């Protein structure tokens, strides 16, 4: 899982960099702009963002306003944290479902430049949502255990 | 009815502490379930295609270039150069702090990255020289706000992609206001230095000056390459960002020889983290934006605004007040993604130039990074220096005031912003 969430997006970033430099050189030096480079870089970016978000979920580093959670302590805090994790899971499950339906509907359509089946691109939504659901479920379980231990 | 539920869920869960991205997504999911007639695939579709933009690709590259410069000691060289330049003025190291942030801003596009990258170094240097720690912390927070005003700028890239405005023009538009902010803060430092007896540094010898200059010139060239390349049409803003990375790599590996290939995986992962934190919000915000448009909420609010005034000057002042208040309570990026679709049409309707508006709003939101209860730069610097927020805030107040003066000047005199972009048009 770490491989997918850390190595793959890092590699995607590195390849994006190479592809864009290649694009600049081919266009400005050789006057032969490649047709596929723009699209490839954009798709790699989408992969990077979604898998990187799963990594962010694992590290609990998503941008949030934590005024309320830091003000609370003990049982009240554990209850709030549990509810927040469940809310995150609620959205993620909806997005997972939406992603699967969208994948089914869209997967055979070829992409404009590379003519790659779009399934490879849009599959990232359900994959990333599933990964994030797992992370937040693990967090929810931890808060639940805290609550049990406390009472 | 459903739209009120949407807004209540987003606002409520955000205030309770749900991450911004999930708060937006949850509100949208609840809305779609309530309406019932909209195909659920809209969520996945908007999430993917909301970030499918070549322009937004520049975000990780701007972060990457700054990360590489931080790792390779380029940052330290900039500091030495600033030291040689203004260290001998009364309040020397405080001026160095300002100039250092301005030069660093020419390579980095994020205020938080500036404060995290050079803030602590500045505080430590100033404390060693006898400055009060709270003053040093406050000044480092305040000077970081020029990061996204002097090009490049991540907030301007996001504004440009949302408002369909040329990022090159926005970058040029930020240059003069950024220098103005720096000069205003230096003037304030000068007054405080005389009144409070801050030390000055010994004047450097000519030879030392040239040594620092030679080491400082390569980083100074970075913004010139960026803007020059964009404006001659040699490359797009995103390609410019990639070229900046290449430049930073060459500096670090060949010129300074302080970057080894072993550092790269760690740097790349950190950039992935920082980019994903920003861009994942963009994915769900674009679902949210789609629903807002469907409910015609931007038009409704725009009409309400246009009821108040149709005078562009008053409108800009009203919107400034609105954004200063929003910036106090909300995270910058969340403000941009949620409110830009609503206010950009308003600005356009009363005839405010959208390049001018973009620079004004970004500067406005940078002040929001300093103001409690939710000011990321204030949090960051008081966290790094382990000082209570209120102590830092007391020293920060005059700087917040002077930055608001800068904001008002560029709002009332569009020429300050538009001079360079008009010249290049």
Write the pLDDT tens digit of every residue in B309-342. Answer: 889 999 999 999 999 998 887 778 878 888 888 8
pLDDT recorded at residue B364: 95
Q: What are residue A110's DSSP bridge partners?
A: A117
For chain B, percent of residues with pLDDT exceeding 90: 32
Buried b (16+ CB within 10 A) or exposed e, B35-44: beeeebbbbb
* CA A112 vs CA A26, A36, A103: distances in Å: 21, 9, 17
Stretch 281-310 of chain B: residues touching chain A, C-beta under 8 Å: 281, 283-284
ipTM over 0.90: yes
Stretch 53-112 of chain A: residues touching chain B, C-beta under 8 Å: 53, 55-56, 59, 61-69, 80, 83-84, 87-88, 90-92, 94-95, 97-99, 101-103, 105-106
pLDDT recorded at residue B411: 94
The pLDDT confidence band at residue A151, using thresholds 50, 70 and 90, is low
Q: What is the mean pLDDT of residues A71-77?
A: 83
The alpha carbon dihedral of B150, B151, B157, B159 has a sign of positive
Higher pLDDT among residues B243 and B208, named by residue: B243
Residue B172: helix, strand or coil by DSSP?
Answer: helix
Which residues in B lie closer than 8 A to residue A102 (C-beta atoms)? 41, 44-45
Q: Is B25 on the interface with A (CB under 8 A)?
A: yes
Residues B403-417 pLDDT 10s: 999 999 999 999 999
Question: Alpha-carbon distance B122 to B275, whole Å?
Answer: 26
The answer to whether B41 contacts A102, with C-beta atoms less than 8 Å apart, is yes
The answer to whether A55 contacts B275, with C-beta atoms less than 8 Å apart, is no
* C-beta of residue B154 within 8 angstroms of C-beta of residue B277: no
pLDDT recorded at residue B361: 95
Whether the bond between B373 and the residue before it is cis, its omega within 30 degrees of 0, is yes
Which residue does chain A place closest to B243, by CA atoms? A21
* C-beta of residue A78 within 8 angstroms of C-beta of residue A143: yes
Residue B258 has pLDDT above 80, yes or no: no
Question: Alpha-carbon distance B208 to B213, whole Å?
Answer: 8
Phi, psi of B108 (to 5 degrees): -115, 150
Cβ partners under 8 Å of residue B23, min gap 6: B9, B10, B13, B14
- pTM, two decimal places: 0.85
Mean pLDDT over the full length of chain B = 88
Phi, psi of B235 (to 5 degrees): -150, 160
pLDDT recorded at residue B137: 94
The pLDDT confidence band at residue A127, using thresholds 50, 70 and 90, is very high
Tokens at A150, concatenated: 């406390």
């Amino acid at each position: 899982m770490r491989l997918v969430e850390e190595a793959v997006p890092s590699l995607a970033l590195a390849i994006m960099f190479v592809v864009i430099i290649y694009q600049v050189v081919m266009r400005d030096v050789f006057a032969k702009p490649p047709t596929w480079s723009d699209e490839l870089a954009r798709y790699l970016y989408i992969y990077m963002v979604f898998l990187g978000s799963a990594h962010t979920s694992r590290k609990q580093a998503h941008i949030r306003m934590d005024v309320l959670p830091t003000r609370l302590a003990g049982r009240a805090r554990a209850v709030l944290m549990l509810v927040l994790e469940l809310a995150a899971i609620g959205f993620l499950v909806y997005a997972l479902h939406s992603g699967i339906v969208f994948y089914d509907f869209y997967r055979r359509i070829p992409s404009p430049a590379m003519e790659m089946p779009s399934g490879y691109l849009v599959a990232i939504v359900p994959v990333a949502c599933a990964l994030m659901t797992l992370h937040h479920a693990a967090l929810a379980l931890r808060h639940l255990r805290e609550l049990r231990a406390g009472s | 009815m459903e739209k009120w539920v949407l807004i209540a869920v987003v606002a409520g869960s955000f205030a309770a502490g749900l991450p911004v991205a999930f708060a937006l997504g949850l509100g949208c999911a609840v809305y779609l379930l309530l309406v019932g007639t909209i195909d659920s695939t809209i969520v996945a579709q908007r999430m993917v295609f909301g970030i499918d933009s070549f322009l937004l690709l520049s975000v990780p590259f701007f972060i990457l270039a700054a990360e590489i410069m931080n790792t390779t000691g380029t940052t330290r060289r900039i500091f030495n150069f600033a030291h040689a330049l203004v260290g001998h003025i009364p309040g020397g190291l405080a001026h160095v702090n300002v100039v250092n942030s301005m030069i660093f801003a020419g390579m980095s596009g994020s205020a938080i990255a500036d404060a995290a990258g050079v803030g602590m170094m500045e505080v430590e240097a100033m404390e060693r020289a006898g400055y009060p720690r709270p003053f040093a912390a406050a000044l480092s927070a305040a000077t970081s706000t020029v990061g996204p005003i002097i090009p490049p700028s991540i907030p301007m890239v996001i504004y440009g992609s949302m408002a369909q405005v040329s990022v090159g023009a926005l970058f040029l538009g930020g240059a003069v206001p950024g220098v103005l902010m720096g000069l205003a803060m230096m003037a304030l430092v000068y007054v405080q230095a005389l009144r409070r007896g801050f030390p000055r540094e010994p004047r450097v010898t000519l030879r030392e000056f040239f040594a620092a200059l030679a080491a400082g010139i390569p980083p100074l060239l970075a913004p010139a390459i960026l803007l020059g390349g964009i404006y001659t049409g040699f490359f797009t803003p995103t390609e410019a960002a990639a070229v900046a990375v290449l430049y930073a790599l060459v500096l670090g590996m060949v010129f300074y020889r302080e970057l080894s290939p072993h550092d790269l995986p760690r740097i790349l992962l950190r950039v992935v983290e920082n980019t994903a934190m920003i861009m994942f919000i963009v994915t769900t915000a674009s679902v949210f934006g789609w629903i807002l448009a469907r409910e015609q909420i931007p038009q409704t609010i725009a009409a309400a605004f246009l009821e108040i005034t149709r005078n562009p000057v008053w409108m800009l002042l009203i919107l400034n007040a609105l954004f200063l208040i929003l910036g106090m309570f909300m995270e910058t990026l969340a403000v941009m993604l949620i409110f830009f679709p609503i206010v950009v049409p308003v600005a356009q309707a009363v005839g405010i130039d959208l390049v001018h508006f973009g620079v004004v709003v970004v500067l406005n939101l940078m002040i929001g990074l300093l103001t409690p209860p939710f000011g990321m730069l204030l949090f960051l610097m008081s966290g790094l220096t382990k000082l209570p927020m209120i102590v830092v805030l007391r020293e920060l107040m005059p700087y917040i005031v002077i930055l608001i003066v800068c904001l008002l000047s560029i709002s009332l005199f569009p020429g300050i912003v538009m001079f360079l972009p008009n010249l290049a048009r």
